[in-house]
Structure 1
Amino acid sequence: MSEEGRFTIHLEQREGFQINAQFGVKRVPDLLMDEPPPLGEQAGPNPSRMLTAAAADCLAASLLYCVFKEEPPDHCLRVEATCIVARNEKKRMRVSGLQIRLIVADVVKEAPRFHRCKDLFEDFCVVSASIRAGIPMQVTVLDQAGTVLHQSS
């Protein structure tokens, strides 16, 4: 990976399992992360929730960019992201799967580029493509009526 593709995020433990994350971007506030009880107090999202949100956001942005480029319409997409956590063969808790559902408004599914983009967008999402190398992931695109418009293979 080239140097231009690198960034550093700084994390600092505050109290208990609360970790403050600094993203190194002026306009982005710090984020407090925490574990759920009994370890922490769930004062913020835990790493599994952050991983799930990162994959979902990346897929949403990738689809919107492919369909509309720089100017997607407001409020045209919702995402439901489910993280499945289970014990592995060593009885350790692991993220064992992600299920991402992108629900698009009519303006998305009727856009001229949608038909082509629905089969391409997953390949351009940096985060989900990287996660998929180690975690099974199912991606589904639906319209607001619940009709499946695309499903990953």
Structure 2
Amino acid sequence: MAEQLTIKIQQTSDYKFEVDFGAALSPIMADLPPPLGEGSAPSPEHLLLAAVANCLSASLLFALRKFKQNAENIQTTISCTVDRNEQKRLRVTHINANINLGKAAAEFEHLERILAQFEDFCTVSQSVQAGIPLQINVFDGDGVVLK
């Protein structure tokens, strides 16, 4: 079953926009960084990264809970590279996400299966990854690379 999502963006001043998600959610502000905007609110690139990181984190939590595993404070750090393309236009050229599970790998059951499937649950990262290379790394609470 398809779902239709709609938001409304309203310019409030210069390059600052209010992002209205509808009656059920509080609006947020978005702004471009200087020199065009004031950098007083998240930029579109920030919002893209937040969407990818949130979706990946929630998808990993979902996969862990499918196997009745306690996540213990998932923390995700995400970054991107913004560079010019051949036409000299700025583009997000690469995204790197580092997800930390918050406890040692040995404390999880079925971790290999969980890590093998969680990315497939993430609507946003799977959609973005079709056009932007996305590197996803998962670490346990001791900093050991799991994926």
CA distance in 1, matches of 2:5, 2:105: 32
CA contact (8 A) 1:109 1:115 kept: no
Please say which of residues 100-109 and 9-18 is displaced more in the overlay.
Answer: 100-109
- 1:1-150 equivalence runs, <5 A: 2=1, 4-26=2-24, 28-69=25-66, 76-106=73-103, 110-150=107-147
CA distance in 2, matches of 1:38, 1:109: 49
Structure 2 CA distance for partners of 1:45 and 1:8, relative to 1, 3 Å? same
State how many pairs are aligned. Answer: 146
CA distance in 2, matches of 1:52, 1:90: 24
Q: Which runs of 4+ in 1 moved over 3 A?
A: 71-75
Aligned AA for 2:49? Answer: T
Aligned AA for 1:78? Answer: Q
Aligned AA for 1:87? Answer: R
CA contact (8 A) 2:103 2:142 kept: no
> Secondary structure of 2:15's match?
coil
Give the gaps of 5 or more residues in structure 2. none
CA contact (8 A) 1:67 1:108 kept: no
Root-mean-square deviation (Å): 1.9
Please say which of residues 87-96 and 103-112 is displaced more in the overlay.
Answer: 103-112
Residue deviations 1:81-125, cap 9 Å, x none?
A: 011101101111000010000011127762324221101111110
CA contact (8 A) 1:49 1:83 kept: no
Q: CA deviation at 1:75?
A: 5.1
CA distance in 2, matches of 1:109, 1:12: 49
Residue deviations 1:42-79, cap 9 Å, x none?
A: 1110101100110011000000011014x875752111
Give the gaps of 5 or more residues in structure 1. none
CA contact (8 A) 2:72 2:103 kept: no
**TM-score (normalised: structure 1):** 0.88
